[in-house]
Amino acid sequence: MKTNLHIMEPKQNLLFKGDCLETIQKRLEGFKGKFRLIYIDPPFLSGTQYTLKKKVEGDAGAAGTLSEIPTYNDKWDDLEHYLSFMKPRLKAMKDLLSNDGSFWVHLDWHVSHYVKVILDEIFGYRNFVNEIVWKRTNSPKAQSKGFGAQHDVILLYALDSKGFQTKPIYREHDTKSLKPYSYKDEKGNFRLIEIEAQGIQRTQGRKQFEWRGRTAPYLYKKEKLDKWWDTGMIYRSRNGRYTKKQYLKDSPGILVSDLWYDIAPLQGGAQENTGFLTQKPEALLERVIKSATEKGDLIGDFFAGSGTTAVVAEKNGRRWVICDESQSAIDVISNRLDSISKEHDYSFVDVANRS
Ligand SMILES: C[S@@+](CC[C@H](N)C(=O)[O-])C[C@H]1O[C@@H](n2cnc3c(N)ncnc32)[C@H](O)[C@@H]1O
């Protein structure tokens, strides 16, 4: 790691210590329009003083116990105070995005709806893409009133939603999604796909024609049906109805929707766990990054915490710029980056340091 650079080269990965607004205004002037993706997981009015839990080493008496180092304070006078902190920072981050860029804001029930209104204003309502729901815990706490909170929200915006498209992401089949693949032939298990119009399409008078002894409102032309027939892709039921076979081996899995319940919360004993209380799992950032960037793209996180975004960017061949104002967060990030590779090159910049 190099320290306290004066001149920025856009190709370098950068770790800033400082307030993110000051960092963007003073140090990232030349980066406007360069970020393909920005993910942030900012404070969210939780009213909590967060800590870093670390195992005490050395002293035989204390060894094995946990020490708690303060990381950041998420206590605010009121909602207005919090929103007036967020608004200029969100605006400044938007200016860093490239035309095909996307902005991901991780929050929960405390303020997600208020921040969405601000983001609609900044990005334009039509550039809102998704509200992703991530199941962040398997064991919600019992509440004195209402239900236990079990999910976070990630608001996704595109700088220009017209040309924007996330890449399809598939997760492995589960018992429920495997059930329809109960048919089998020499090529393996398959399920049946309709080739006749159903429901309203059928009643709206779709043209019918005769094919292999059955007259029906087919969804495909005769030539296509013949081709499938010749390659053994058509299934004929006992009552003479035709459907198309879809083999399990050709299925990429289950297409991921905006409901992310398949990414497990960070486990206490996991190797990636740094003890930073609001650390997010690498699998979550991997899904975000892989769905909206390519290798070599520049990714930003201006509330970096334990540095999950940079770590995942690094592991997946993306360039990164991250920032946090807390010294204990910076310490965790540096150790974490060193632990994945001693070779990688990034520069550390203390924004308050003018030298
Ligand atoms: C929820 S944590 C981020 C956790 C992170 N996603 C992870 O996986 O570890 C929020 C972070 O924002 C930082 N932060 C709060 N206010 C900030 C500011 N004005 N500028 C930069 N960082 C800030 C805090 O120090 C904290 O580390």
Render pLDDT for 23-73 as a digit per residue (tens, 0 to 9). Answer: 999 999 999 999 999 999 999 988 888 888 877 776 656 556 778 888 888
Ligand 1 mutation pick, 38, 76, 303, max ligand atoms within 8 A of CB: 303
Ligand 1 mutation pick, 324, 350, 351, max ligand atoms within 8 A of CB: 324
State both tokens at 74.
């998420």
- Each domain of the chain, given as residue ranges in start order, spans 2-169+256-350, 172-250
Nearest residue (by CA) to ligand 1, atom 24, is 72
Confidence of residue 143 (pLDDT cuts 50, 70, 90): confident
State both tokens at 182.
């109960």
Per-residue pLDDT at 341? 74
Confidence of residue 214 (pLDDT cuts 50, 70, 90): very high
> Which atom of ligand 1 is nearest to 285's Cα?
8
Nearest residue (by CA) to ligand 1, atom 26, is 305
* Interacting residues of 167 by C-beta distance below 8 A, sequence separation 6+: 290, 291, 292
- Residue 196 DSSP one-character state: B
The model scores a pTM over 0.85: yes
Q: Read out DSSP for 24-46? A: HHHH-GGGTT-EEEEEE----S-
* Residue 301 phi, psi dihedral angles, 5° rounding: -145, 115
Nearest residue (by CA) to ligand 1, atom 27, is 305
Per-residue pLDDT at 282? 98
**How many angstroms separate the CA atoms of 35 and 158, rounded?**
12
Ligand 1 pocket, Cβ-based, cut-off 6 angstroms: 19-20, 41-43, 71-72, 276, 278-280, 302-303, 305-306, 308, 323-326, 329
Ligand 1 mutation pick, 46, 74, 325, 337, max ligand atoms within 8 A of CB: 325
Fold of 2-169+256-350: Rossmann fold (3.40.50)
Per-residue pLDDT at 207? 84
**How many angstroms separate the CA atoms of 326 and 74, rounded?**
12
Per-residue pLDDT at 139? 86
Confidence of residue 202 (pLDDT cuts 50, 70, 90): low
> How far does the centroid of ligand 1 lie from the alpha carbon of residue 284, in Å?
17
Average pLDDT over residues 100-112: 97
